[in-house]
Amino acid sequence: MALINYRKAINDALAEEIMRDENVFIIGEEVAEYNGAYKVTEGLWKRFGDKRLVDAPISEAGFIGLGVGASMLGLRPVIELMFWSFAFVAYDQIVNNAGCVRYMSGGLINCPIVIRGPANGGTNVGATHSHTPENILANVPGVKVVAPATAYDAKGLMKSAIRDNDPVFVMENTLLYGEQWEVPEEEYLIPLGSADVKREGTDISLIAHGRSVLIALAAADILAAEHNINAEVVDLRSIRPLDEDAIVQSVRKTHRAVLVDENKPFCGVSAQIASMLQEKAFDDLDAPIGRVNTLDAPAIYSPPVEKLQLPNAQRVVSKALTVCA
């Protein structure tokens, strides 16, 4: 095992897939000569050249449209967005073209495109740079959405995403790029649609994705140390496809659930999971399902106030105590 950060894990995944498949290329703003806005693609342009790393102008509709078209012709583009907030100017390309072409072609045309970049708040960059649109994207049949919480998951999911024949949207978090985890040196893949139990427990299930998994783990430590509550933490890893079996299995064991995610609460990922649990595990629940989300307002620019807006461990603990009361 090597101890590497989240950024390096994605970089390694991209390099390995470029070497494995001549059809893989990366395009985005500053991804080549300038090593990427967050240095995720650092060194790749020098290793692989202009045909595999392509710097694009500030025109997401243009280079996402280019990527969609290239993928329909058999290439495997990986598109970097400086923020997922900027994807909205290319929503027609993402939804109507990438999301629908396989269905509308009767299965004759694949769209093996990956769009990746940060989708998070907490960096004090304002409302238009802090969207978490995984719930919006996952609403589109025909696409896949993943949100890795660790370097290990980031690498394994990225490699699987690049090899997938459908559009895959990878929701990263700028606050995780410098965090380190152990990652195997040998090649591995993580299947899309596979959740992971990050902490075994018996009293309550904390279900999360992305950086919220780390918040749930911190909350689980507090619950164990201060309240004698043994919480299980389930990392979704994949929003769509969603590993419903893993979620239901955990809740059937613990009989209580708190759903943690950085989405806004209205029509969010946790709303979908709560609905699913009501249908599939209602008789197993000993208490109402709890939710901890970002407070329902545009991302607040003020650093101390934005911290209060986002989920944190203490908010999760408070909700868990209410559910366990």
Q: Concatenate the DSSP letters of all residues of 208-248 into one string.
A: E-TTHHHHHHHHHHHHHHHH---EEEEE--EEES--HHHHH
- pLDDT per residue rounded down to tens, the chain (325 residues): 899 999 999 999 999 999 999 999 999 999 999 999 999 999 999 999 999 999 999 999 999 999 999 999 999 999 999 999 999 999 999 999 999 999 999 999 999 999 999 999 999 999 999 999 999 999 999 999 999 999 999 999 999 999 999 999 999 999 999 999 999 999 999 999 999 999 999 999 999 999 999 999 999 999 999 999 999 999 999 999 999 999 999 999 999 999 999 999 999 999 999 999 999 999 999 999 999 999 999 999 999 999 999 999 999 999 999 999 9
Q: How is residue 95 annotated by DSSP?
A: I
Q: Which position has the token pair 């093996």?
A: 112
Do 2-183 and 196-324 agree at the fold level? yes
Determine the topology of domain 196-324 in CATH: Rossmann fold (3.40.50)
CATH topology for the 2-183 domain? Rossmann fold (3.40.50)
Statement: the pTM of the whole predicted model exceeds 0.85: yes
| 3-class SS of residue 82 | coil
Q: Please identify which of the residues 129, 131, 209, 232 carries the catalytic annotation.
A: 129
Domain ranges of the chain: 2-183, 196-324
Active site residue 129: yes
Instruction: Determine whether 60 is an active site residue.
Output: yes
Which among 17, 29, 60, 262 is annotated as catalytic?
A: 60
